[in-house]
Amino acid sequence: MRVLIYFKPKEKFDNFEGARLRKSIKGALEINNIDYTPNDVDHYDIAHFISPNSESKINACIESGIPVVLSALYCESDIEASYLEYVTKKEKRSIVLTQKALRVLNKVNLVLVPSEQAKEFLIESGVNTPIEVLPTSVNISRFSYLREDEKEVFYRYYREDKNKKLVISIGSYDNLDGVSAFIKSAKLNPGCSFYYFAQHNSKTNLKYKLLTRKSPKNCHFVNIPNDDIYRSALVNSTLFMYNGYDCAGIVSILEAMAAKTEIVIRNQPLFSDILVNEKTCHIGQFSETLTAIACDYLNDKIYPTKENAFKYAASQGLDVAGEKLKEIYEKVLKKE
């Protein structure tokens, strides 16, 4: 059995969630001695895709009789691997499955999702393809450092004081709803460094300029850096905030857990079995609540949950994911 693992982001986004999920899948297969290729012109028996933007490649596999597995709702912070759109109707915010995503999901042989809630959401949204839950996996060893200079590369790159508490967040400049909680937290904690890592889009330059004008000096909005710098930021951060009203990228959340970073996040209905308030994270519904929780944690007023979160992340290692993926691929091939 040989597996095609395919995801092709734009070059400048090649360290965001979709690319990191692709790397985790490859790692899980390697641990379990499963042969794979990233090249769609090679020979392979089954194809595993990450993004609905790969529709043309998916169609080519279907036409060639190659069974297709599709990972959905793992990378919602990545505009190159997202299945959802964020809409406001009659002043009510909600997330919905895009028409393109629905079309692609109903073409493939099997859909993988990170939680039971995500499975229920897709079924309610009209997906009739078989769906299986495969929790997000993470390579825990990525966040262990033997050398201190490698661990502190973030501070050297951005010329930050390593004695300051670090708060990070992720997202896209295409959707900045909720970012006010991050900015206000920075204003109320001038002795801390705040970094918002995002995918940059030329269409949103105006939003970016407005953000930098309104933000305090300790609040920085930057493009996602390379993997070494981003991992260093995660490991050294005191707090990981997810402020958006849209669905969070569970890949980034699990990485924060693996890095033993405390998580403050807006309520996530698709991942309520993973993100449990005051057990694996701290949850707020409104921006004011998120700001208050962040400030309390930075001032040692609330109990940390990062150890419980780390235990969950450690239980979802690449070895576990690889075993499950092998079973899934064999079942799909047998059925076909």
How far apart, in whole angstroms, are the C-alpha atoms of residue 17 and residue 7?
A: 11
Whether 108 shows a pLDDT value over 70: the answer reads: yes
How far apart, in whole angstroms, are the C-alpha atoms of residue 134 and residue 28?
A: 12
Name residues whose C-beta falls within 8 Å of residue 137's C-beta, 6 or more positions apart in sequence.
Answer: 24, 28, 254, 316, 317, 318, 320, 321
One domain, residues 9 and 21: yes
One domain, residues 253 and 304: yes
Predicted confidence (pLDDT) per residue in 176-194, tens digit: 778 889 999 999 999 999 9
Q: Which of 269, 273, 275 has its CA nearest to residue 252?
A: 275
Whether 223 shows a pLDDT value over 90: the answer reads: no
One domain, residues 196 and 95: no
Whether 336 shows a pLDDT value over 80: the answer reads: no
**What amino acid occupies position 300?**
D
One domain, residues 330 and 301: no
Mean pLDDT of 131-158: 91
Predicted confidence (pLDDT) per residue in 257-300, tens digit: 999 999 999 999 999 999 999 999 999 999 999 999 999 999 99
How far apart, in whole angstroms, are the C-alpha atoms of residue 187 and residue 176?
A: 18
One domain, residues 151 and 227: yes
One domain, residues 54 and 178: no
pLDDT value at position 10?
74
One domain, residues 290 and 322: no
Q: How many domains does the structure of the chain reveal?
A: 2
| CATH number of 229's domain | 3.40.50.2000
Confidence class for position 205, pLDDT limits 50, 70, 90: low
Mean pLDDT of 296-320: 94
One domain, residues 281 and 150: yes
pLDDT value at position 201?
58
Confidence class for position 249, pLDDT limits 50, 70, 90: very high
One domain, residues 166 and 226: yes
Whether 231 shows a pLDDT value over 70: the answer reads: yes
Whether 206 shows a pLDDT value over 90: the answer reads: no
Whether 148 shows a pLDDT value over 80: the answer reads: yes
pLDDT value at position 200?
66
Structural domain that includes position 222: 142-314
User: 181, 241 in Cβ contact below 8 A?
Assistant: yes
Q: Which of 232, 221, 225, 212 has its CA nearest to residue 155?
A: 232
Q: What percent of the chain has pLDDT over 90?
A: 76
One domain, residues 159 and 239: yes
One domain, residues 48 and 160: no
User: 194, 182 in Cβ contact below 8 A?
Assistant: yes
Mean pLDDT of 293-314: 96
Helix (H) or strand (E) holding 195: strand 193-199
**Phi, psi values for residue 24, rounded to 5°:** -65, -40
One domain, residues 203 and 276: yes
Helix (H) or strand (E) holding 187: helix 180-188
pLDDT value at position 204?
55
pLDDT value at position 299?
95
Name residues whose C-beta falls within 8 Å of residue 240's C-beta, 6 or more positions apart in sequence.
Answer: 167, 168, 169, 234, 253, 256, 261, 262, 263, 264
How far apart, in whole angstroms, are the C-alpha atoms of residue 40 and residue 38?
A: 6
Mean pLDDT of 170-177: 72
Whether 203 shows a pLDDT value over 70: the answer reads: no
Whether 113 shows a pLDDT value over 80: the answer reads: yes
Mean pLDDT of 40-51: 95
**Phi, psi values for residue 286, rounded to 5°:** -115, 160
Terminal Cα distance for the chain, rounded: 14
Whether 62 shows a pLDDT value over 60: the answer reads: yes
User: 316, 126 in Cβ contact below 8 A?
Assistant: no
Name residues whose C-beta falls within 8 Å of residue 90's C-beta, 6 or more positions apart in sequence.
Answer: none
Q: What's the whole-number average pLDDT of the chain?
A: 91
pTM surpassing 0.85?
Answer: yes
pLDDT value at position 174?
63
Confidence class for position 12, pLDDT limits 50, 70, 90: low
Three-state SS for 58?
helix
How far apart, in whole angstroms, are the C-alpha atoms of residue 334 and residue 336?
A: 5
Q: What is the CA angle 140-234-304, rounded to 5?
A: 85
